[in-house]
Amino acid sequence: MKTLTTDVLVIGGGATGAGCLRDLAMRGIHAILVEKGDMTHGTTGRYHGLLHSGGRYAVKDPQSAHECAVENIVLRTIMPHCIEDTSGFFVTTPWDDPAFADRLLAGCRATGVVCTEISVAEALRREPALNPQISRVLEVNDAAADSFLATDLNVASAREYGAMALPYHAVIDLVRVGNRIVGAVVEDLRDGQHKRIEAAYVLNAAGAWAGKIAAFAGITVTIVPGKGVMIAMNHRMVDTVINRCKMPDDGDILVPAHTVAVIGTTDRHVPDPDVYGIDPDEVELMMVEGEKLVPGFTRYRALRAWAGVRPLYKDKMSPMTAILAARINYSTTARAMASKVLSRSSAASGRPIASWLRKQSTK
């Protein structure tokens, strides 16, 4: 069996894993990333493409709203080539409580989310396909983001700094010495060959699959996969991200993405992130909800329906000195999580990770 040695092994090739890899490499820490499929094979490649302003969470989850607002600015600065500045509207339809707009405005002010009320006439001038019966419109800094391009470029940059990324390499076991995880055994799914990767640290950035990875170490991490269904329509009927002005719910976002528009999403628990389907009633719900935003929506042709699974973390894992689970939250905040994960590693070990790894390399 071939053996590779590195400072940090990153498991998972989504937005968070790729961010971790690049962050480590830029700090001069050698790292290897393994992913069982293509990069963005999991949740990162299966969402609606929204760069959150934070508005969606300003009432329900203020902490996430603030994080999104901060990262929205950072990402626009460092990866403008991956972002289309569409802006975003929260619209009150006849099916929504008009008073919620005031709650949203207050929540945005409290969390630092840029939000301005504009006239219905101005919104309809900019987006004539919108439901003319909307009664209030709030504008936020939403945008459309290309998660495939952003992740691929993160990995490419990390490689330039000396990192290694191995797609189609599935973890089949973790290597444990005493109470420490010191590496993993992976299988190259293209030829069936096994590799042993030895590392001072192992970062579990597997998202919805984090519980399966942790189980190899005898750790119970309860991840509840939440399936979300999205549909790409054959026409880009809006150029602005359109959100329903209400508490987050199914089918309440319409995102312009390149030449199409994506309606989403649902949230249904599935027991296994690798085993799920798209139910006809979910597709029907998306179409019905789209009609409330854009009259005539159901007359457009649906090009493709797909689903992704969100990782909802439910408990605290057992303490170990060399394994850390990073929960994928939203692609908007993946860069921030990647940056913070090293600080969390340092806190868990009681040692600054960069300086400790430099000492290890001199032994």
Residue 206 has pLDDT above 90, yes or no: yes
Yes or no: say if 297 and 287 are a contact pair by the CB < 8 Å rule: yes
Q: According to the model, what pLDDT value does residue 311 have?
A: 86
Under the banding of pLDDT at 50, 70 and 90, the label for residue 357 is very low
Q: What is the mean pLDDT of residues 262-270?
A: 93
pLDDT at 362 over 70: no
Mean pLDDT of the chain: 89
- The span from the CA of 275 to the CA of 350, in Å, is 39
**Residue 344: which pLDDT band, with cuts at 50, 70 and 90?**
low
User: For the segment 162-187, what is each residue's pLDDT rounded down to a tens digit?
Assistant: 999 999 999 999 999 998 999 999 99
pLDDT at residue 260 greater than cutoff 70: yes
Alpha carbon distances (Å) from 306 to 146, 225, 266: 16, 15, 11
Bridge pairing between strands 31-35 and 164-167: parallel
Model confidence at 318, pLDDT cuts 50, 70, 90, reads very low
pLDDT, position 353:
52
Banded pLDDT at 356 (limits 50, 70, 90) = very low
State in Å, rounded, how far the first CA of the chain is from the last one: 25
In the chain the beta strands, taken as DSSP E runs, fall at 2-11, 31-35, 50-51, 83-84, 88-92, 115-118, 136-140, 143-145, 164-167, 169-177, 180-188, 194-204, 223-233, 241-244, 253-257, 260-264, 268-269, 302-313, 323-325
> CA torsion sign, 344 to 345 to 350 to 355?
negative
Task: Please give the pLDDT value at position 136.
Answer: 98
Q: pLDDT-derived band of residue 336, with 50, 70 and 90 as boundaries? A: confident
pLDDT at 321: 33
Q: According to the model, what pLDDT value does residue 355 have?
A: 44
What's the length of the chain? Answer: 363
Q: Categorize the per-residue pLDDT at 320 as very low, low, confident or very high, splitting at 50, 70 and 90.
A: very low
Is the predicted pLDDT of residue 360 greater than 90, yes or no?
no
Q: Which residue has the higher pLDDT, 347 or 195?
A: 195
DSSP 301: P
Q: Report pLDDT for 312.
A: 80
Q: Is it the case that residue 227 has pLDDT exceeding 60? A: yes
* Domains annotated on the chain, with CATH: 2-44+148-222+315-361 (3.50.50.60), 50-145+224-312 (3.30.9.10)
**Residue 236: pLDDT band with limits 50, 70, 90:** very high
* Predicted confidence (pLDDT) per residue in 80-116, tens digit: 999 999 999 999 999 999 999 999 999 999 999 999 9
Maximal C-alpha separation, the chain: 71
pLDDT of 278 above 50: yes
338 pLDDT band, cuts 50/70/90, is low
Asked if residue 12 has pLDDT above 80, the reply is yes
- The pLDDT value given to residue 347: 55
Q: What is the pLDDT of residues 114-141, one digit of tens each?
A: 999 999 999 999 999 999 999 999 999 9
Q: Average of pLDDT values for 213-224?
A: 91
What integer is the mean pLDDT of 285-312?
95
